[in-house]
Amino acid sequence: MPHFFFNKKVILLLVGMIFLVALISFSLRDRTNATLPEQIIKDTVGVAQSIVARPANYIAGIFNNIDSLLNTYEENKRLKARLEEFAVVQTEALQLKSDIKKFEQIEKSESLKAFNPIQATVIARNPDQWEEKIILDKGSSHGVTKNMAVMTASGLIGKITLVTPFTSEVELLYTNNPNYRVSAMVLGEKEAYGLIEGFDEERNELILKRIDSSLMVKEGEQVVSSGLGGIFPKGIPIGEITEVSTDDYGLTKMAYVKPSADFSILEYVMIAKRTSTVIDGADGNATNEDLTNSPEDSEKEEE
Amino acid sequence: MVRFLIPSVAVLLFLLEPEFAMLSPIELSGHIYYLVPRFLILYLIFISIYYSRQRAVMYGLFFGVLYDVFYIDIIGLYSVLYPLICFLAGSIVKVIHQHLVVTTSISLILVAILEFVLYQFFYLIGFTSIPLVDFLQSRLLPTMIANMLFLMILGWAFKYLINARVLQRAREVS
């Protein structure tokens, strides 16, 4: 036995293994904040990364422009066909807008739809692509907080999962993380509420679960965020229903949703900062607290 | 000059990887293919083979930690795998011939092993649920093709650069 202990290399290896397992299990926990050394590394790499990202985005932009130039003729044709409908829709929209204003005055409630966009540039995408994650160049010093909605012009793409002073991490909708849910609603004849939970890897579509089985949900209907989760604004487009079925236990309906945003090349995104009261949802590790009027925030405002 | 060129190329490759990752996944006739850029580890394997195993392991550890903290958020994954791959590469090369074609294929095999170990790890902790066949078709194969193209274009340049450094060091010693 004593002979064994003289073998320094074996002991070093064992200690190393234990240390490694401890480190991995520490970092696998559902952490809400990055530790200080992590934040320092993230911010330093983030700054270097955003310098490299600028010319890279520029080059990618050129390719996109060429691509859209080639499609101009087709697109023009399609748009012309839709132009005739447009005038009718516009007058209708104006009418509805004034109606909404009147109702809001009566109700005097804050609209869940209103939000202040924070423009951000995508500086990196997780290169090994096992977890669908992108990194943005805006962080807590720009007013970004955890769980905010991230979107492009065409729709919702994900939410903020980790914030450091100058960078923030976005987990895309394409994830199988069971703690990742987005409250959504289907814009049909009658509004149906459900939760976006996970995605189907073979079909490459999102899954909308927990829809009340008494409600009719049809293919082709639009799915938008409901704003009931607490932090997301209402009405961000998510996608379109492609198939409806019942879920595993037959109690509720589920639907496959084809996302409206394009996930393949993301350059510029918007972080939606809701203007009305923000509640930290009861989801996962969230605390169900009132974030806008919390004591810490109001103290800061007084200062 | 050459002395600082070797680490700066490594830093550049580290920063370029995520930019190339934005081009992925690509969709070809209904199938989705993931291309994972592994430029940095290929470069480190070359350093390990042509320059110094110890140096390569050090670089591997440094960039592995950066990679873990910045992208993966699981500390201890790449920071172990990168040095391990460099160590393996340096050990293998002692028993075989150092021709560019041979080293290129060894690098690619090592990267394939790295991908496979990562797949097993993420499968184990439940980040992914894709079956093995899908992994081979939609991830490993396209990744290997993309990285092979990268090595075929830049492998000789790496070798040239590292050889220049080796010669310079030999001159300094003598």
Q: Which of A24, A126, A204 sits opposite B32 (nearest CB)?
A: A204
Read off the pLDDT of residues A143-172 as tens digits, 9 standing for 90 and up: 888 888 898 888 888 889 888 888 898 988
Is residue B8 situated within a structural domain? yes
Read off the pLDDT of residues A241-284 as tens digits, 9 standing for 90 and up: 998 888 777 788 888 998 888 777 778 888 988 776 666 655 55
How many interface pairs between A and B have CB atoms less than 8 angstroms apart? Answer: 100
CB pair distance less than 8 Å for A126 and B21: yes
Closest by Cα among A14, A28, A29 to B77: A28
- The mean pLDDT of A58-73, rounded to a whole number, is 82
Residue A192 β-bridge partners: A186
Looking at the complex, report in whole angstroms how far the Cα of residue B20 sits from the nearest Cα belonging to chain A: 8
Is residue B124 situated within a structural domain? yes
Residue A257 β-bridge partners: A206, A241
Is residue B171 situated within a structural domain? no
- Give, for all 174 residues of chain B, the pLDDT tens digit: 777 888 999 999 999 888 888 777 777 777 888 888 999 999 999 999 888 889 999 999 999 999 988 888 888 889 999 999 999 998 988 888 778 888 889 999 999 999 999 999 988 887 777 888 988 988 899 999 999 999 988 888 888 888 888 888 888 887
Instruction: Please give the residue range of the domain that contains residue B99.
Output: 2-165
**Helical axes B2-21 vs B141-173, angle rounded to 10°:** 170
pLDDT value, residue A301: 40
Residue type at B29? S
Q: Is the ipTM of this complex over 0.90?
A: no
Is residue B99 situated within a structural domain? yes
Number of domains in chain B: 1
DSSP state of A181: E
Substitution target from A128, A129, A137, A179 for chain B, most B beta carbons within 10 A: A128
Is residue B75 situated within a structural domain? yes
Confidence of residue A303 (pLDDT cuts 50, 70, 90): very low
Say which CATH number the domain at B70 has.
1.10.1760
pLDDT value, residue A288: 58
Q: How far apart are CA B83 and CA B61, in angstroms?
A: 5
For residue A29, the chain B residue with the least C-alpha distance is: B74
pLDDT value, residue B62: 93
Closest by Cα among B2, B7, B42 to B170: B2
Helix (H) / strand (E) element for A217: namely none
- The mean pLDDT of A179-205, rounded to a whole number, is 83
Tokens linked to A92: 């209708």
pLDDT value, residue B45: 93
Is residue B170 situated within a structural domain? no
Residues of chain B positioned with their CB less than 8 A from the CB of A171? none
pLDDT value, residue B120: 92
Measured between alpha carbons, how far is residue B30 from residues A46, A72, A221, B35, B108 in Å? Answer: 35, 24, 23, 16, 27
For residue A20, the chain B residue with the least C-alpha distance is: B76
Q: Which of A42, A125, A130 sits opposite B127 (nearest CB)?
A: A130
pLDDT value, residue B115: 93
B→A contacts (Cβ < 8 Å), by residue, are 11, 15-27, 32, 34, 36-37, 65-66, 68-77, 80, 118-119, 122, 125-130, 134
pLDDT value, residue B86: 93
Is residue B113 situated within a structural domain? yes
DSSP state of A283: S
Tokens linked to A287: 């605390």
Q: Which residue has the tokens 């809701």?
A: A274
Label residue A143 left, alpha or beta by phi (over 0 means left) and psi (-120 to 50 means alpha).
left
Q: Which of A20, A24, A45 sits opposite B70 (nearest CB)?
A: A45
Confidence of residue A3 (pLDDT cuts 50, 70, 90): low
- Which own/partner contact pairs does B4-9 have at CB distance under 8 Å and 24+ positions apart? B5/B161, B5/B165, B6/B47, B6/B51, B6/B161, B6/B162, B6/B165, B7/B59, B9/B43, B9/B158, B9/B161
Domains of chain A: 181-259 (2.40.10.350)
Please state which of the ranges A222-231, A291-300, B76-85 shows the lowest mean pLDDT: A291-300
Note whether A111 contacts B: Cβ–Cβ < 8 A.
no
More confident residue, B174 or A232: A232
Q: What is the pTM of this model?
A: 0.78
Residues of chain A positioned with their CB less than 8 A from the CB of B137? none
Is residue B172 situated within a structural domain? no
